[in-house]
Amino acid sequence: MLPDLNTTSEMIERWVFLNGQFVLEKLAAIPVTDRGFLFGEGIFTTIRVHQGRCELFRSHVERLEKQAKALNFTWDFQNFGWISELIKRNRAQDGIWRLKIVATVKEQSTERVAGNILAMLDPYQGTTSDPCTLCLFPYPVESPLADIKSLSYLDHLYVRNYANRLGYTDAITRTRDGILLETGCSNIFWIDQGKCWIPDLELPYLKGVLLQGLLQHSTWPIQFVNATIEQVPKSANVYICNALTHVRPVISIDQCHFQRCGQKEKLLQQTIAQVLRFENAEH
């Protein structure tokens, strides 16, 4: 039986979708032999659900499919009809929610196929548009899985937690040569001299689905760059972005301060709206 409509979101018993069945979150379980649990061997994506509708859904699924292939395991990506029921059961038709879809590799199997498939919803309580402050993570971060959103995600969380402990929103990771990559949980770019400057796509970092959409619909010409923090002009307007929080202006990186531009922020929001309309039309 579904929860009472008048029950607050905090009191509603959460439902998850686990291996083809709807299960109360408190009753959901996976085997201790699960390779995602043991080794972080699996993939996930986090989808923004706004007013009951999944944003950038096709792009998220395409990335899951691509990354499963990169990790050499198969998963049936055709059937996602259960998502609408999961949204209904969790009373997630209003506001912003976070839908996390996880696929792990089957344990003790000669076949490289998906083992446990889990999807869970929770209301998003974070900030989606406020300006943020960044610092530089002091050690190089390079991984052969940098472009895969695997369950081995602790390094990203560690980077963000490092920044939070120092009072910053997030931290920027860099290569051994000091080239800017991304933050713990977002992509970074800046606008200057009439162009949008983005870390080179050949660099080892996760290219978010929102970043990919912005690349296709940008109002400004795109310039890919291998840049150190010293090469980011003081006149630039700096931003971070991901599919959950969209675009947030950066007002400082360590002790270097950057100006905001209301007109550019408005244009970025319009570009995001265009990205969402385009995907909805395609879906």
Do 237 and 220 contact (CB within 8 A), yes or no?
A: no
Residue with the bigger pLDDT between 1 and 78: it is 78
Whole-number pLDDT of residue 4: 43
Whole-number pLDDT of residue 24: 97
For the chain, the domains span 15-123, 132-282
On the question of pLDDT at 228 being above 70, the answer is yes
Whole-number pLDDT of residue 262: 96
Mean residue pLDDT of the chain comes to 91
Q: From edge to edge, which strands make up the β-sheet containing 114-123? A: 21-24, 15-18, 114-123, 96-105, 42-50, 53-54
Q: Which residue has the tokens 């839908």?
A: 99
On the question of pLDDT at 9 being above 50, the answer is no
On the question of pLDDT at 7 being above 50, the answer is no
Q: Tell me the average pLDDT across 224-243.
A: 97
**Which residues make beta-bridge pairs with 188?**
240
pLDDT digits (tens, 9 = 90+) for 241-257: 999 999 999 999 999 99
On the question of pLDDT at 5 being above 50, the answer is no
pLDDT digits (tens, 9 = 90+) for 67-84: 988 888 888 766 788 999
**Could you check whether 15-123 and 132-282 share the same CATH topology?**
no
Do 205 and 240 contact (CB within 8 A), yes or no?
A: no
Q: In this structure, which topology does domain 15-123 adopt according to CATH?
A: D-amino Acid Aminotransferase; Chain A, domain 1 (3.30.470)
Close Cβ partners of 100 (under 8 Å, ≥ 6 residues apart): 44, 45, 46, 47, 118, 119, 120, 121
Copy the structure tokens of residue 67. 């990354």
User: Worst-scoring range by mean pLDDT, 58-62, 177-181, 234-238, 278-282?
Assistant: 278-282
Q: How many Cα neighbours within 13 Å face the side chain of 89?
A: 19
CA distance 283 to 277: 10
User: Taking the CB of residue 139, how many other CB atoms lie within 10 A of it?
Assistant: 10
Q: In this structure, which topology does domain 132-282 adopt according to CATH?
A: D-amino Acid Aminotransferase; Chain A, domain 2 (3.20.10)
**Amino acid in position 137:** F
Percent of the chain scored above 70 by pLDDT? 93
**Cα 134 to Cα 8, 175, 225, distances in angstroms:** 34, 17, 20
CA distance 18 to 28: 7
pTM here is 0.91
pLDDT digits (tens, 9 = 90+) for 194-205: 999 999 999 999
In the chain, what's the furthest Cα-to-Cα distance?
58
CA distance 175 to 180: 7
